[in-house]
Chain A
Amino acid sequence: MDSRISRRVLRILASMALICWAAFSLTAQDPDPNSPTPILLSEMDSTRALAQRPGKVNSRTDLLRSVSPAFSPEEKMELFVTNIDLMDGEGADAFRLYVLDRLGRQYRFPVLAIEALPGAAGIYRVTALIKDEIKYWNGPAADGDVFVFLTWRGLSSNRVKLGIGKIGGDLPEDPTARPTPYAAKSGRNVSRTEDTDAIGYRWAADRKRFAEQATFGPNRALDATLQRFGLRAWINSQFNMPYPSATNPYPNTALQPVNQPTNCNGNTSDGELFPTCLRDSYSQYQPQTWFFKEAFYGDAQLKHRVAWALSQIWVTSGNDIQQGRHMVEWHKVLSKHAFGNYRDLMKEMTLNPTMGEYLNMRESTRTAPNENYAREVAQLFSIGLFMLNQNGTLQLDAQNNPIPTYTQDEINALTRVFTGWSFCTVAASCPNIVAGTVNFIDSMLLNPGITNAVQNRHDIGAKTLFTYPGSAATQTIAACPPTGAGACGITCPTSGTGNCTLQSGFTSAQALAGVLAYANTSMDRAIDNLFNHPNVGPFVGKILIQHMVTSDPSPAYVSRVAAAFNDNGFGVRGDMKAVIRAILLDPEARGDVKTDPNFGKLREPVQLLTNFARTFNVRGAAGGQSDGNFSGTRVCGRAEFNNMAQIPFQAPTVFNYYPPGYGIPGTTLLGPEFAIMTTGTAIARATLINRLTFVAATAPTTTPTTAYAIPYPVSGVDCPNGTSFDFSEFVALSQADNSGGQLVDELNRRMLHGTMSDTMRTSILGTLSSYGGTTNLTHESRVRQAIYLIATSSQYQVQR
C-alpha cells in the first residue's frame, strides 16, 4: 500500500515536472520563422538544371559537368538542391517540383526521394518522375525545354531549364535567372541569422500573416501584442483566455415552442412577449450578430477562430435548426473543446441535441434505425472515406485503388450503437427543461420517457465496428446478456418492430438501468473506436490546416500535425492545443515571404469581411461598437452574404459551404473555398467591398474625418448601431505624401503583409492621380480608391 502511494506521488511529481518544463519551454523565445530558400543546382555556365538519370554520383566533378540530358515522359530523373535545412524525418513529401512549359502551362512532377549526397556537404539529390500530377493539361509535350523549380515550406527555388524530349525549343529566356552551379562551400551556409539583441518578435510580415491565420484579422493592437510576446507566448495566453468576451456573452434567448405562439409571432397586435421575440427566437439573428461582434472585438481570437473552423467540420445549420438558441448550444460544444481533447468533442457532440436533430440521431431507434449521424460522424467528422497515410495521402491497394475505411456494414453497426438516444425530458436528469419547449440545452438521454423496459429503443445486439490496425480493443461490442453480470434483463427481437421481453428475476427499472449502462459503455467504445482510428489525425489535421493556413499543404506538414494529434509529446492523443501549435508554428506556415505558387488559400467571405473590418477599425456608425449586423434572415447585410454563398450558422448542407476536397476546377490542386468562388460570387465580393468602402450613410451624419463609410446605417431594432470604418489614419498618410506612395505602402503592409508586387503598386498609384488637388475630400477619395482596389484584388482575396 505504502509503496503504491509513493509510486503514485512520484508519478504525479514527475508529471508536474514535465508540465513545468513544458510551460517554460513553450514560452521560450521564438526562433527565426524563415526557412532558407532552396537552390536547384545548374550547369556551370547556364541556367540549365544539373540533372541525370538515376545513377551514381561518383565525385564532385559529376556536379560540375555541363552535359545534362533530355528526359522522356514517365522517366525518373535526378536533380540536385542545396541551401535546405531538413528537420528530423523531413523527406520527399516536404517537396514538390513544379514545371512551366513554353506556353506558360503549369505541371507538377511527384518527388519520389530526397537524400543527402555523400561527400558533398549540403547537397541533396532529388528524384522525381516526369509525369504531371496536376492533370489540367495533357503533357508537358516532349518537345524541348521547360522551367522547373522546387518548393519547400512555402518557398520556391530558383528556376532552371530542363529538356523534355529534347534540349532546346522555344522556351522564353528568364532575364532574372543566373547560373547556380555547384560550389564547394555552397551548401554549408545554411545557418540562420539570429539577432540576439533585438527584443520581441521582429518579423513583421510573418506577424501579420500569423494574425490572418490565427485570428479574424490583424489590427494594430494585436500586432503590437504579437511583437511584444512572440507567437508561442501569445498562443499560450490564448489557451487561457476567457471566451466569449465578458462584454459579449453567448446569447441566452429563452427556448421557445416548436409552434410559434401568438405572443412570439412578429405580430405586435396580439401582444409580443418582447418586441424582438420572433427575430431573437426563431431566426439566427442572435448567434450571427454575436459571432461578428466577437470576431471584431473579442480578445479570445484564437478560440473563436478554431471554433469557426470546427463549426465547418461538425456542421449543423440554422436552415434546418429552428431557433437561434439551438445553434448557440451547438456552438458552445465547439468552443468548449476547441482547446480540449478531440475525443471529448466527439462524444459531447454526438449527444448534442442540435446535432441529434440535424442528423436525425434523436429519432433513431432499435426498430427504426436512422443511419444519417453514424454515416456523417465517420465520413465527415473523424475518419473520412479512405485509408490515409499519416501525411494525409491515400493508401493504395495492389491495384492502385484507394482503400475504403468502411462499408455499409460498419455504418449499420454504428447506427445501432447510436439508437435510443433522444431529447432530455426527465426532470431528474435534465436541469434545463422549459415547459412547452424541446430541450435543446441538456445532452441527449437514453430511452427518455420510457418506463417499461419492453419498450426499450436501444439496440442491445452484438456489433462489429471499424477495423484497422490497432482496433482490436474497440472494434467489437458484444450483445448485452439477458441475465448474469452486466445484464440488460431483456431480450429484443433482431428485426421488425416487436417489443422486447423482460427476463424473469428483473424489474423493469433494473432492466432499464442495465440497458443504460450497456448503452453508455457501447457509446464510449464506439467513440474510442472512431477516435483511435489512424485516419483522424491526418484527416482532421489537414482540414484545420486548410481552414487556417493553406489549402494544399505539403504531405510533410500534414504529417507533422497528425503526429501532434497522435501524441502531444506526453503520450496524449487528440490534444487540440498540440494540434493548434503544430499548425500555426510549422515552418511551412511561418516565414516573412512565401513564394510557393501553391501557398495560401482563398479567403472565405466571412474572413474577407472580418479582415477588412479589423484592419480599418470597425465601429458603430455613430461611434461605439458595431452591432455585428452582416448576415442572417432578418438582418441588414443578409443579401451580401447570401450572394457570396456563406451565411454564418446557415451552411447549406452537412457538407458545409465548401468541401475540403474541392479542387481548382479541372486540376488536382486543392482549393476548398473555390467551391463558392463562382462568377456570381466573385462579383458579389466586389460589390461587398464597394459597399464597405464607398457607400455613405444616410443617417446619422458623423464627423467626416473619422468615419468614411457607413454601409449599414442606424435604423430600427435590427441595426441599432450600424457598422462603419475609420480610415482617418490613412487620410493622414495621403495628405503627407501627395504621390500616394506612403498610403499604398502602408496599405500593403497592413492588408497584404508586404506582398504587393511592383506592378500592382504602379497600377494603383496610377489611378490615384485621377484625383487632383489637395482638399480633404480628395484625400478621402484617394484612400477609398486604394482600399477598394486592394480589397477587391485577387491578391487580397487570397490569404498567402
Chain B
Amino acid sequence: MEEQFPAIIVAVPLFAALLVTLVWWFDNRFCFPIAILAGTVSLAASAGLLLRVLSTGVVEYRMGGWPPPVGIVYRVDHLNGLFLVVISAVSLLNLAGSRTIAKKEFGEKLGAFYALYLLFITGLLGILITGDAFNLYVLLEIASLTGYALIGMGRRRAPLSSLNYVFMGTIGASLYLLGVGYLYLITGTLNMADIARILPAILPSNVVLLAFILCLSGLFVKMALFPLHAWLPNAYTYAPSTVSSLVAPLTTKVMIYVMFRVTLSIFTVDFAFNSIAVRLPLLWLAIVAIVMGSLLALAQKRLKKMLAFIIVAEVGYMVGGFWLGNRAGMNGAVLHIINDAAMTLCVFMAAGAIVYKTEDDRLSSLQGMFRKMPVSMTAMVVGGLSLIGVPPTCGFFSKWYLISGGIAAGQFAFVAALIFSSLVNTVLFFRFFEIGYFEPFPPEKTRHHGHTGYLAQSKEMAEAPLDVLVPLITAAVLVILLGLFSGEIVTRVIQFAIPAVIG
C-alpha cells in the first residue's frame, strides 16, 4: 500500500473527477462529499510520502513497472514532497469552504465545477510529482485547461479574460514543449535525471542554451512574471470566488516550482548559475516585477484586483530569491512558495466570503465591514499582515530569508525592492483596514439602485455561513502556524531540498 502512494496521489482525484461527472446526472448533492474524500486521500498519501522521504530519502515510483529512462517515473524528493503536502492541503481547505459559495455561483453546473476542480488538482499534483519532462507538459496542460474552464464559468468579463488567458497560457506551454523538443533532439531522452546525466558531456552547446531559454520563457508566461503578467489580474478578478481562491494560491506557485525543477534537476546548477550569465538579468527582471506589481496594486479600486496584482509582485520575490543563487535566498524562495500559498488562500477566501455577502468588491464600498463581518475581516487582517511581513505571521520569516540572502549576495537593489514592496503592502492593507474599520457607515440615502439586500442598509452583524468560516479560520491559523514553525520547516525539510553545491 505504502509503495503505491505516488500513484494514489494523482489517480484518486482523477478517478473521483470521472465519478463526480457520473454521479452529477443523478444527484448533485453527492459531488461535494466525493470531492472532499478524494482530496483527503490525496493529502494523506502526500503526508505519508513526505514522512517516508524524510526518513529514507528519495522515493522513485515506476509507472507500470517500466524502468527509467524508457518508462515514466514519479520521483519524490524533499522539494516536491513538501509541495505535494502544501498544495493538496491548500486545495482541500479551499474545497471544504466552497460548498455554500459554489452552490450560489454555479447552481446547476455544480457537478461540472467539482469535476473540473478535481482535475485541476490532478494536474497540479502530477506536475509536482513527475520525473519526466514531457509528462510534465501534459499535466501542465491538464491543469491549465481546467483552469481556463473554471475561470470562464464566471460572470461579466470572465469569459473574455479566460480566453486571453488561453492565448497566453498556450504560448507559454508551447514554448516549454519546444524547449523539451530541443533537449530531446540533443540527448535522446525525456527522463529528467537521464537528461541531467547526459548534458554535462555535451556542454557548451547552443542547442542546450536555446532549450533553456525556451523552457524558461514559457514558464515565465505561465507564472506571470512582470512583463508577461497581463493575463493574470483580469482572470483572477472575474473568476468565481471559489475559483480565484483555488487558482490564485496554486497556479503561479506550482509554475515557480517547475522553474526550480527544470533549472536544478534538468539543466543542473553548474550550467544555470556558472556557465551562462542569466543570473543577474533574471534577478533584475524579478526586481522590476516586484516594484511594478506593487505600484500597479496601489492603483486598483477593487479588492480582488488589488490582491491579484500583489500576486504579480510576490512572483518576483520567489523568482528573485531563486536567482540570488545562494542558500539563504533559495531557502527563502522555497519557504515563500509555501507561505504565499497559505496567505493568498487566506486573503482570497476572505474576499470570497465578503463578495458572497455583499456582491461588491469595490474598496470604497467596504465601509463598516468590520462590524458586519468580524470573522472574515479578521482573517483578512491576518493574511494582510502576513503579506506585509509582520513577525508572528509566516510572511515575515520568508521575507527575512530573502532579505538576508540578498545582503549575502550583495544585491541591494533586490533588498530595496523587497522593502519597498512591503511598504506598499502596508499602505494597501492599512487603507483597506481604515475603510473597513474607521470610516462611518454611509448615510442611507446614498445607497441607491441595485443594493436591495438588507445587508447594504443594516449595521447588524451579517457573517458568512459557518461552513465558509471554519476553513477560513483554519487558513488564518495556518498562516500563523507556518510562521511559528518556519524554523523547523527549513532545518528539517527545505535544507535538504536545495542542492549541496549551492553555498
A binds B: no
